[in-house]
Chains A and B, each alone.
Chain A
Amino acid sequence: MIDLPFDPIRAAIPLFVLAVLLEIGVARAGRSKVVYEGRDAATSLVMGLGNTLQSALMLGLIVASMLFVHSHALFDIPLGAWWAWVVVFFLDDLIFYGVHRISHERRIWWASHVNHHSSQHFNLTTALRQPWTGLIVGTWTPWLLLIWIGFPPEMIIVQNGVSLVYQFWIHTEAIGTMPRWFEAVFNTPSHHRVHHARNPRYLDANYAGILIIWDRLFGTFIAERADDPCRYGIVRNLGGFNILRVAFHEWIAIFQDIARAPRHAVGYLFGPPGWSPDGSRETSATIKAKWRARTEREERPAQAA
């Protein structure tokens, strides 16, 4: 088994509860623009609870895989090496960026991750709206690479927990922007509002976990703009709060698509969300292209005048 020196998620659970209560209290007192819809918040919370069940069911396989890979590691990096914690902080965050990006850009992983984006609200309960199928589609496997290099599994699990806990507080409208130096380096509520926004301008941006530098480096950073307030949710929002529909709607849609056209199964699974063989549906790229063309059309007469 793996004995963690410290479990950041377990330690943070009381803080999660207090922070949500505080956010609700501050909003009710009229001191922030945060809004809560009861059924939406309950849906997010139940999704979070279901996610913990998924983790429990997958735990054995994940731990066994980690121990197996670690037994074939290239190096033996001790858990107590401070420099290893620094290196793992950056590598973990880089892997998170990559996994998160593919979770938006390829439908098989989006089918799981869409759960986290399906609320039309952006508050601390949205942070807890976690997928039920993420581990099943293998979003944890890229971290095995770090273990194969020689970083101890305990180190990876703790750092993953630190990342998850960090990402909780950035799901809020109660905080405007942080100091400029902080916004330049770290993921913040402002950057993450953009990530959850469905405005064409903001689609597929700001995939960061802790450090926003990866988005700046790989060209996926978009800053929040006062003249284009974030509208949250997904391109075609859900029609209700049925928890099973919330959890599995995109999987059902994929199976329906493949059943109708099995020869396009690869495209439906690994193409971008919205991909269709005849191009009749919209992907983020086509939505953005149409929006850009529209904006340019509208700006041209204004410039001419």
Chain B
Amino acid sequence: MDQAYLLQFAGSLAAVALLAAAAFWARIPRPTQPLTDSAARAFIEDELPDQVLERVWIDAAGDTAVGKAGDMGVVLFRVGDSYAVRTAPWAQVKAARCAKAVAVIRFDDPACPMAAFQLAEAKAPFA
């Protein structure tokens, strides 16, 4: 790589740092409220209209919701100021590993390997 390219790359790197700093400084994310039962249901219904939820659990932080739809589990969780949704067999969701008041739900998906569910008390979640 020649010197001109390295200079140009260094300039681009500086520009990226400046713009990222401006984006963090501006604090203009999408307004998001902690999840409630009805908000989580509405969101999941919009994302996965075929799933009929029997029950929904909201985590202590209001960032993650877990729904049971027959043999399937539906997990809605916060990503920045937005949300992502994944499904997994209910048995897999229920088997979430719990440590330090957090249940970690694993998915077989390279785009989203896990979601965290904050527990309010030290007992098995989704019972």
Contacts and interface: CB of A to CB of B under 8 A. Distances in A.
Given A24-B28, A52-B9, A249 B16 contact: no
Interface bin, chain B:
35 or more
B54 interface: no
A36 B28 contact: yes
Given A37-B80, A46-B16, A56-B1, A239 B22 contact: no
A253 interface: yes
B112 to A, nearest CB: 3
A24 B22 contact: yes
Given A239-B114, A253-B110, A120 B28 contact: no
Contacts of B86: 236, 239
Contacts of B117: none
A45 interface: yes
Nearest to A38: B24
A239 to B, nearest CB: 3
Contacts of A24: 22-23, 26, 28
Interface in A153-168: none
A20 B112 contact: no
Interface string B81-99: 1111110000000000000
Contacts of B24: 38, 41-42
B19 A237 contact: no
Contact of B22 (A20, A46, A52, A250): A20
Interface in A214-245: 233, 236-241, 245
A88 interface: no
A302 B81 CA distance: 36
Contacts of B8: 10
B27 to A, nearest CB: 8
Given A39-B80, A40-B80, A253-B111, A17 B18 contact: yes
B20 to A, nearest CB: 4
A256 interface: yes
Given A52-B12, A250-B111, A35 B20 contact: no
B109 A253 contact: yes
Interface of A: 10, 13, 16-17, 20-21, 24-25, 27-28, 34-42, 45-46, 48-49, 52-53, 56, 120-121, 125, 233, 236-241, 245, 248-250, 252-253, 256, 290, 294
Given A21-B22, A42-B23, A238-B111, 15 more contacts: A36-B28, A37-B29, A40-B81, A41-B20, A42-B16, A45-B16, A45-B19, A52-B9, A53-B9, A56-B1, A56-B5, A121-B30, A236-B111, A237-B83, A239-B109
